[in-house]
Amino acid sequence: MTIKILGLNCSPRTKSNCAALLEHSFAAANAKLGGQIEHEVIHLKDKNILHCLACGVCGKRKDREEYIPCAIKDDMTEILAKMCEADGIVVATPVYFGLPSDLFSKFIMRTRVLRHQDFKLANKPVGVMAIAGRRSGGAETAIMATWLPFIRNGCLIVGNGDQTCQYGTMAWAGPPEHILTDEWGLEQGEQTIRRIFEVASLIKAGKTVVGGTTPMKFSYTAGNRPS
């Protein structure tokens, strides 16, 4: 079974460690899996992504089941479609002040439209790779902060699988492509991709048995304070 995994590179740099780690990890995982992964990497830095305007337009109509797209016309339209189409998603981010990059934050807020459209990303496995310049520079906190919006989107968070069962990939690198000498980071990268593949395969096979639709329904009122 072919599994489509979408990589999201959240570094603003050319020849970034994130880009190198993603490419290495996909190649290494595919070598072990006999080429069962079809992958694409979106380099967010090359895309025109505007910040969410909080206009409150996107989502679905309150009176009937009709979806309303985001009002902003930029490259997010294409990125959101690719996220929906993928069987799994991997995010690679540099660690900035113990958090994912600001590019990630700007991008992820724009996925709110999918949440409001009855969780279009529901049940999609998501793994995270964080690259820090310093050992103990905040890779774990960056990974966990990256998880949170995906959980709100109904995604399934995965780590790096059974060998060490860490939170994903904690890589250690400074200058451009320095990551290619971080043996442990590279190994965790490959494991994270294989773990996403494993869970995505199970979900894809399960959908053929129980159906492909999600039971998750977005509500404008549940948990909201009446105004």
**Which among 214, 218, 217, 194 has a CA at the least distance from the CA of 206?**
214
Secondary structure (3-state) at 134: coil
Q: Which of residues 127-156 bind ligand FMN (CB under 6 A)?
A: 131-134, 137-138
Q: How far is the CB of 61 from ligand FMN (least distance, A)?
A: 41
User: Shortest distance, CB of residue 213 to ligand FMN, whole angstroms?
Assistant: 37
DSSP string computed for 38-76: EEEEEEGGGS--PPP---S--EE-SSSS-EE--S--STH
Rg (CA), the chain: 18
Contact between 95 and ligand FMN by CB under 6 A: the answer reads yes
Give me the helices (H) in the chain, please: 17-33, 76-85, 102-109, 112-116, 139-152, 183-210
Supply the minimum distance, in Å, between the C-beta of residue 223 and ligand FMN: 33
Residues 11-30: x where in contact with ligand FMN by CB under 6 A, - otherwise, as a string:
x-x--xxx------------
Chain residue whose CB lies nearest ligand FMN = 137
Q: Which is nearer to ligand FMN, 59 or 185 (CB)?
A: 185
Residues that bind ligand FMN (CB under 6 A): 11, 13, 16-18, 94-98, 131-134, 137-138, 173-174, 176
